[in-house]
């Protein structure tokens, strides 16, 4: 089984950390193919950056080697629908996967994420996926995403403190980590907090493996039918599957 794990930002160290987290939970025989955006920001901390990240995800999935499932390793799930159009393989975003996992374990969960300004993105995903009655709070720490590439003790302590405050104020029983870059911290936080701490990368990998094992794929009818053949122009000409124009 080949799992394509796409980091929508263009950070090589973060892609490597995400790949390590994915391989740590992948079943024997599952091969993790990790990649990152060929263009776009080194981190995604707002709507403008997320727009380019979504295009980078679509690009990676459309032109990827053969794969059985796709995991989009960014908590905003950028490009999720576009990726589902681009492949028959199951495509999972780590936010959607994490919300489902948390709802299977607890009656209420809280999200602890990076920048305060990205909380609205997570709030919209909670509504989109239908978890507004179970998600009791979304808490930003204002830790820059790239600070997680080499997370020190102070950063870990700051995330732990935010999680403890969230558990108390929200009356939650589980914590969802709101950034793929937090994946390496999951085990330590679980032990310290004494509650389930859900890393979306890990659960998305396991859910993806299950869907593949069941023989389930993305339907190629309706809105997830393949993109219509047409000519694209400019720097995005390679996205098209009709006569191209690189002008």
Least confident of 46-55, 148-157, 204-213: 148-157
> Could you give the maximum distance between any two Cα atoms of the chain, in Å?
58
**Token pair for 48:** 């403008």
Average the pLDDT over 223-244 and give the result. 82
- Would you state the pLDDT for residue 247? 28
If residue 137 lies in a helix (H) or strand (E), which one and from where to where?
Answer: strand 135-140
Instruction: Give the DSSP per-residue string, 154-188.
Output: HHHHHHHHHHHHHHHHHT-SEEEE--GGGGGGHHH
State the virtual CA torsion across 108, 114, 119, 123 in degrees, nearest 10. -40
Average pLDDT, the chain: 94
Three-state SS sequence of 49-82 = HHHHHHHHHHHHHHCCCCCCEEEECCCCCCCHHH
Cα–Cα distance between 61 and 54 in angstroms, integer? Answer: 11
pTM, to two decimals: 0.93
Q: Which domains does the chain have, with CATH numbers?
A: 2-93+203-239 (3.40.50.12500), 95-200 (3.40.50.12500)
What is the predicted pLDDT for the residue at 52? 96
Calpha distance 173→194 (Å, rounded): 9
Q: What is the token pair recorded at 112? A: 């602890």
For the stretch 187-218, pLDDT in tens is 999 999 999 999 999 999 999 999 999 999 99
Residue 84's pLDDT band, with cuts at 50, 70 and 90, is very high
Q: How far apart are CA 16 and CA 121, in angstroms?
A: 25
Q: How far is CA 8 from the centre of its chain?
A: 8
């Amino acid at each position: 089984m080949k799992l394509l794990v796409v980091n929508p930002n263009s950070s090589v160290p973060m892609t490597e950390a995400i790949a390590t987290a994915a391989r740590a939970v992948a079943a024997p025989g599952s091969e993790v193919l990790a990649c990152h955006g060929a263009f776009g920001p080194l981190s995604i901390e707002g709507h403008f950056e997320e727009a380019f990240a979504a295009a980078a995800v679509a690009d990676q999935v459309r032109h990827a080697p053969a794969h059985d499932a796709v995991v989009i390793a960014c908590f905003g799930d950028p490009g999720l629908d576009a990726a589902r159009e681009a492949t028959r393989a199951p495509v999972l975003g780590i936010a959607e996967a994490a919300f489902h996992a948390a709802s299977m374990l607890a009656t209420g969960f809280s999200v602890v994420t990076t920048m305060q300004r990205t909380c609205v993105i997570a709030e919209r995903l909670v509504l989109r996926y239908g978890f507004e009655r179970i998600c009791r709070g979304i808490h930003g720490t204002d830790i820059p995403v790239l600070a997680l590439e080499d997370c020190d003790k102070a950063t870990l302590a700051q995330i732990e403190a935010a999680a403890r405050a969230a558990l108390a104020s929200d009356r939650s029983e589980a914590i969802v980590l709101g950034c793929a870059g937090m994946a390496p911290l999951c085990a330590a936080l679980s032990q310290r907090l004494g509650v389930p701490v859900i890393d979306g990368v890990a659960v998305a990998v396991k859910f993806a493996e299950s869907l593949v094992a069941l023989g389930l794929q993305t339907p190629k009818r309706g809105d997830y039918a393949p993109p219509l053949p047409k000519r694209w122009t400019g720097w995005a000409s390679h996205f098209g599957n009709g006569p191209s124009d690189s002008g």
